[in-house]
């Protein structure tokens, strides 16, 4: 039986469609392969933007993630928009099309004129065609959205929407895996008692901050604190009360710092603080503020009886003024700390105050 001949035009159309699908599949494979290379969220966002820009003919697009409070969406990365428009921008989950797409998990595709002029996306300047794709992993609630915008209002074809949706799925899966990794890593970086960062994290972050300060010729301040006579406190009230006291100290100090400062438990009753882009006088002022906050803590035993208050002694050093390397920076702050102990405790001492004096006779 003779096979049915396919008309030449139809055959050419099928071949073109097949070639397009091969390109689409390669695009998805390439994106999946590249996104699987990193589990660092910042790097992942950058890779996502670069890969989407290289793979699709989109004028403008950006990515938002749902914040921990579950009430806001924050812009994590963008392409084609001016930085001053989108960097650090937040959207309310209960306001506008973007919030609706994330809340319902529904993809929204709108052409020019099909939305409220007061919608946050319209106010942002997205007046052409919009495609909002929720970032979802299987049947779980959306964790954010990918927003694509064409200024000319020409819309998005069904094939375009399908391909962008598949890419959004790849991005969502990569972010989901990265978040799981980040949570596990954060647990390994946290002190079990106080919830602060631990010694391991401190050393990694300190090396990175010193390198950053060196590259950009900035200051970095390091403060080390020791709770005064804490062994005596434990002997008087017991270790469980002592643990409560350390948690109270950690909470008091953490609440007085900037968002990008780093506080860690160094060990026992010692705490450290990293202050990026901070010079000596400002660091000394921060240390003094923390000393006063700790001395103002009101401690009580399980029966509600008021306990003796705690004080702390602090040592301050500054990169590069006092030390050119991370370990030397710790050493200078430690030297200042023990000078403060020798001088009577409950005080702040800076490495600049010490000169070249040795610290052999300082108390342990």
Of 79, 76, 114, 78, residue with least CA distance to 97 = 114
Q: Where are the alpha helices (DSSP H) in 36-74?
A: 41-55
Whether the CB-CB separation of 139 and 115 falls below 8 Å is answered with no
Do 273 and 160 belong together in one domain?
A: no
Which residues are registered as beta bridge partners of 73?
66, 91
Do 272 and 337 belong together in one domain?
A: yes
Q: What positions carry a catalytic annotation? A: 269
Residue by residue, pLDDT tens for the chain (364 residues) are 455 667 777 766 666 666 555 555 555 556 666 656 565 778 877 877 777 777 777 788 899 999 988 899 999 989 888 888 888 899 999 989 999 999 999 999 888 767 778 889 988 888 888 999 999 988 889 999 999 898 887 778 887 788 888 888 888 888 888 888 888 877 889 999 999 999 999 999 999 999 999 999 999 999 999 999 999 999 999 999 999 999 999 999 999 999 899 999 999 999 999 999 999 999 999 999 999 999 999 998 888 888 989 999 999 999 999 999 999 999 999 999 999 999 999 999 999 998 765 444 444 4
Do 219 and 172 belong together in one domain?
A: no
Whether the CB-CB separation of 62 and 86 falls below 8 Å is answered with yes
CA distance 160 to 206: 46
Residue 193 located in a structural domain: no
Do 155 and 204 belong together in one domain?
A: no
Chain centroid to CA 312: how far?
30
pTM listed for this prediction: 0.59
Range of the domain at 111: 8-179
User: Distances from the Cα of 218 to the Cαs of 138, 194, 201, 211, 364, in angstroms?
Assistant: 45, 30, 22, 10, 33
Burial of residue 177 (number of CB atoms within 10 Å: 0-12, 13-18, 19+): middle
Do 108 and 221 belong together in one domain?
A: no
The domain spanning residue 118 has which CATH number? Answer: 3.30.450.40
Sole residue written with tokens 């996502």: 48
Do 65 and 105 belong together in one domain?
A: yes
The tally of CA atoms less than 13 A away on the side-chain side of residue 335 is 21
């Amino acid at each position: 039986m003779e096979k049915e001949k396919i008309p030449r035009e139809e055959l050419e159309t099928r071949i073109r469609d097949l070639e397009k699908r091969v390109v689409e599949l390669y695009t998805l494979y390439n994106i999946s392969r590249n996104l699987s290379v990193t589990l660092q969220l910042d790097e992942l966002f950058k890779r996502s933007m670069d890969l989407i820009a290289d793979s699709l003919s989109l004028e403008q697009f950006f990515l938002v993630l749902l914040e921990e409070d579950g009430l806001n969406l924050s812009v994590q990365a963008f392409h084609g928009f001016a930085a001053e428009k989108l960097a650090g921008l937040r959207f309310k989950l209960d306001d506008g099309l973007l919030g609706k797409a994330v809340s319902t998990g529904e993809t929204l595709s709108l052409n020019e004129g099909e939305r409220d002029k007061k919608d946050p996306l319209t106010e942002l300047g997205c007046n052409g065609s919009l495609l909002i794709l929720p970032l979802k992993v299987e049947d779980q609630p959306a964790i954010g959205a990918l927003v694509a915008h064409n200024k000319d209002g020409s819309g998005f074809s069904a094939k375009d929407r399908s391909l962008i949706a598949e890419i959004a799925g790849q991005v969502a899966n990569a972010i989901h895996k990265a978040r799981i990794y980040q949570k596990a890593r954060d647990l390994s970086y946290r002190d079990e008692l106080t919830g602060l960062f631990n010694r391991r994290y401190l050393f990694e972050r300190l090396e990175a901050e010193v390198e950053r300060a060196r590259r950009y010729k900035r200051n970095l301040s390091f403060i080390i604190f020791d709770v005064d006579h804490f062994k005596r406190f434990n002997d008087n009230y017991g270790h469980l009360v002592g643990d409560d006291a350390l948690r109270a100290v950690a909470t008091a100090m953490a609440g007085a710092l900037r968002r990008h400062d780093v506080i860690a438990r160094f060990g026992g009753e010692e705490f450290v603080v990293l202050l990026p882009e901070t010079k000596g006088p400002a660091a000394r002022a921060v240390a003094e503020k923390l000393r006063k906050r700790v001395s103002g803590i009101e401690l009580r035993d399980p029966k509600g009886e008021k306990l003796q208050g705690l004080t702390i002694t602090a040592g301050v050093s500054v990169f590069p003024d006092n030390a050119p390397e991370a370990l030397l920076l710790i050493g200078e702050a430690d030297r200042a700390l023990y000078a403060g102990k020798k001088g009577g405790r409950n005080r702040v001492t800076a490495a600049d105050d010490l000169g070249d004096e040795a610290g052999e006779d300082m108390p342990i």
